[in-house]
């Protein structure tokens, strides 16, 4: 089985990018054990949820955490009669009483549970790294899809910052915590415990073999004269604004020229020829470099 085979099972019930179908297939392969899930960034419990179908249709228990009070009230209503769902209104942090370990300790969540869906638009890397006492068998974690596969970017460890980390960074973190990558959607990466990884028969789970969707990446390149160009996704993905190529230029138009250019005018070329023969020429060049 390859990532492409897993992605063939993608489908949405309440998820946004095919996660519901992929998770269904994953648990067909590794089986359900604890039948417990965690959703951090649960919103109203339905919109974009990767766990709704597990709880509603398969009878799983869950810990659902949402910081926004308005969404949380809707979340509570969605599961008001379900005694196996623990809805928590909290703004999680990396340590202390609002850490995941501490929050989980106040619930019946087993230390090894089936699924953790982590989507808070920024600090996923640091919160996963801070989780010490619990061991989900499957992780679904959001990454920043605009960051290319070869870039290792970790956003600042600050709950006030919303930037997102790269898939490469999450893969490296996953390996330190004993996880292997098995699939990706547009914005989510799927990891399993390394002891479960052989069940998927994935010959190559390198980042380039698994994550082949580059539609949101923006490439910058520069021309000989100092002009900056872009290729690929030319919008700010989350702001829905076009990237104005004029506003990202380092040099104004009048200063954009190739430093080693040969002038097309014959008289200018002759002037430079004779100027270079003057004894003072090399001194002037030296001073220019010195004070550049």
Share of the chain above pLDDT 70, in %: 97
For the chain, domains (ranges, CATH) are 3-210 (3.40.50.150), 217-259 (no CATH), 262-292 (no CATH)
Distance from CA of residue 218 to its chain's centroid? 15
pLDDT, position 217:
94
8 Å CB contact between 221 and 195: no
Span 162-179, mean pLDDT? 97
pLDDT, position 260:
72
Give just the sign of the alpha carbon dihedral 153, 159, 160, 162.
positive
Strands 179-184 and 112-118: unpaired
CA dist 151 → 114, 144, 169, 289 (Å): 30, 11, 8, 34
What confidence category does residue 285 fall into, taking pLDDT thresholds of 50, 70 and 90? confident
Per-residue pLDDT of 183-197, as tens digits, reads: 999 999 999 999 999
pLDDT, position 229:
94
Per-residue pLDDT of 75-131, as tens digits, reads: 999 999 899 999 999 999 999 999 999 999 999 999 999 999 999 989 999 999 999
pLDDT, position 290:
74
What confidence category does residue 282 fall into, taking pLDDT thresholds of 50, 70 and 90? confident
What confidence category does residue 3 fall into, taking pLDDT thresholds of 50, 70 and 90? very low
The structure tokens 């979340």 sit at: 75
8 Å CB contact between 28 and 45: no
Answer yes or no: is pLDDT of 63 > 80.
yes
Least confident of 21-30, 203-212, 255-264: 255-264
Residue 34: both structure tokens together:
């604890």
Span 131-143, mean pLDDT? 97
Give the residue with greater pLDDT, 5 vs 106.
106
What confidence category does residue 269 fall into, taking pLDDT thresholds of 50, 70 and 90? confident
Distance from CA of residue 104 to its chain's centroid? 24
């Amino acid at each position: 089985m390859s990532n492409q085979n897993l992605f063939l099972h993608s489908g949405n019930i309440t998820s946004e990018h095919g996660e519901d179908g992929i998770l269904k297939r994953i648990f067909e392969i590794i089986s359900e054990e604890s039948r417990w899930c965690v959703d951090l960034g649960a919103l109203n419990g339905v919109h974009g949820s990767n766990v709704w179908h597990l709880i509603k249709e398969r009878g799983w228990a869950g810990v659902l955490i949402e910081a926004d009070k308005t969404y949380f009230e809707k979340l509570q209503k969605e599961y008001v009669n379900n005694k196996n769902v623990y809805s928590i209104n909290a703004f999680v942090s990396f340590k202390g009483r609002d850490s995941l370990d501490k929050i989980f300790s106040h619930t019946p969540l087993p230390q090894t549970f089936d699924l953790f869906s982590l989507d808070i638009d920024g600090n996923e890397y640091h919160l996963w790294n801070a989780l010490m006492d619990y061991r989900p068998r499957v992780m679904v974690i959001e990454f920043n899809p605009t960051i290319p596969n070869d870039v290792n970017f970790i956003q600042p460890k600050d709950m006030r910052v919303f930037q997102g980390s790269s898939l490469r960074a999450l893969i490296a973190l996953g390996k330190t915590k004993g996880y292997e990558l098995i699939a990706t959607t547009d914005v989510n990466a799927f990891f399993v415990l390394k002891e479960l990884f052989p069940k998927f028969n994935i010959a190559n789970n390198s980042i380039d073999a698994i994550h082949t969707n580059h539609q949101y990446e923006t490439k910058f390149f520069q021309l000989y004269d100092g002009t900056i160009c872009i290729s690929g996704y030319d919008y700010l993905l989350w702001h829905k604004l076009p990237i104005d190529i004029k506003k990202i230029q380092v040099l104004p138009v009048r200063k954009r020229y190739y430093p080693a250019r040969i002038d097309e005018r014959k008289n200018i070329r002759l002037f430079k020829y004779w100027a270079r023969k003057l004894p003072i020429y090399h001194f002037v060049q030296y001073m220019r470099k010195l004070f550049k």
